[in-house]
Amino acid sequence: MSALGPAPGPRHRFTVEQAHKLVEVGIVDPDAPYEFVRGAFFYRPRHEVAHALAIGRLEALYRDVPEPTLWTGRVPIVCGPDSLPEPDFILLRDARCLEEQRYAHGAECVLVVEVGVSSLPYDRWKACLYAEAGAPEFWVLDATTRRIERHRHPLSAEGRYAELRILDPTDDIELPVLGQVVQVGTLF
């Protein structure tokens, strides 16, 4: 036992429906910098300049993406009954889910991207969420080392990806949907 007393008991985990209700009744501010993961609200720190630059470069590359595919940022995606993470960038297979006024499910995405600077360990940890949800490809853009951690082929039942490749700034990567090949370092 520590000086603070015994460790707290089990915490209550909320469902996505309960989380929506907490926002609806005003207990959780909808504009607060939190995301809902594994039944709890997690604080999301403000973004650093390197983060904004990487997202801006991805958005510029996908500016003219062909319909009905759509890219967007900071919109929650459904990852099971207890998680609505907010990736920094998603490329949707098509925009019907938004037209239907609902969040996309992981399997409806072509690509999910998190950009890490100070949030890097947390962003890496979220790979399990995206794999469980069936997102076919997940990238962690490490803005400090200018590398991409490319996860592919989700093993949903195991909560992991079958393939992980670390791409250096001088490596090439093909942009999903566009088929365009760019050097990793140009994304930072």
C-alpha 138/C-alpha 125 separation (Å) is 12
Q: Give the 3-state DSSP-derived string for 28-71, with helices as H, strands as E and coil as C.
A: CCCCCCEEEECCEEEECCCCCHHHHHHHHHHHHHCCCCCCCCEE
The percent of residues above 70 in pLDDT, for the chain, comes to: 93
pLDDT at res. 111: 96
Q: What is the mean pLDDT of the chain?
A: 87
Q: What is the pTM of this model?
A: 0.81
For the segment 141-164, the average pLDDT, to the nearest whole number, is: 96
In a domain, 42, yes or no: no
pLDDT at res. 1: 41
Of 78, 96, 77, the C-alpha closest to 88 is 77
How many independent structural domains does the chain possess?
1
In a domain, 16, yes or no: no
In a domain, 14, yes or no: no
Q: How confident is the model at residue 8 (pLDDT cuts 50, 70, 90)?
A: low
In a domain, 174, yes or no: yes
Q: For residue 141, is pLDDT > 80?
A: yes
pLDDT at res. 124: 95
In a domain, 17, yes or no: no
In a domain, 115, yes or no: yes
Q: For residue 101, is pLDDT > 80?
A: yes
**93 vs 146, which has greater pLDDT?**
146
How does DSSP assign 88-146, residue by residue? SEEEES-SHHHHTTSPEEGGGEEEEEEEESTTHHHHHHTHHHHHHTT-SEEEEEETTTT
Q: For residue 184, is pLDDT > 90?
A: yes
Which CATH number fits the domain that encloses residue 83? 3.90.1570.10
In a domain, 24, yes or no: no
For the segment 89-100, the average pLDDT, to the nearest whole number, is: 84
In a domain, 180, yes or no: yes
Residue 85 is part of which domain span?
47-187
**63 vs 46, which has greater pLDDT?**
63
Q: For residue 2, is pLDDT > 50?
A: no
pLDDT at res. 36: 85
